[in-house]
Structure 1
Amino acid sequence: MCSHEPPCPSADSADREAARQVASHPAQGWSLLCNGVLLFEDTGEILPDGQVIAPHRAMPAKAVAA
């Protein structure tokens, strides 16, 4: 899918989220990347082959009561 240089990471690479956005729908909470990955605002993903990647946003550290 990617036609720019250097090419974006493929959908099966570890850095697939670094691909360029080709469509963005922030009101609906998703973006389409040029490698075919659907990226959701909660960091979940759907890969072009239909594989679902669960959200993997880092959880904020809990405040410690004094």
Structure 2
Amino acid sequence: MCAHVVPCPDAAADDRVLAAPISRHPEQGWTLLCNGVLLFDDDGELLPDGQVVLTRRWQLATA
């Protein structure tokens, strides 16, 4: 998906949030990354395959 000279991390990679932003909507609280990941201001993520990744804060609070 990424066409940068140095490719961005794949959506399945652990460092996927380091991909380049291609569309930012701070008024709505989300950013679309070039690997197809939707990154939310509350640190949640929505992967291109529809998988939801909860925030680390949420995971720690429920542990």
State the TM-score, normalized to the length of structure 2. Answer: 0.87
Structure 1 segments, 4+ long, off by >6 Å, are none
Letter in 1 for 2:20: R
Within-5 A mapping of 1:1-66: 1-57=1-57
- 1:35 counterpart SS class: coil
Q: Which runs of 5+ in 2 are unaligned?
A: none
Query: For the aligned residues, what is the CA RMSD?
Result: 1.6
State the TM-score, normalized to the length of structure 1. Answer: 0.84
Identity between Structure 1 and Structure 2 (%): 59
CA distance in 2, matches of 1:31, 1:23: 6
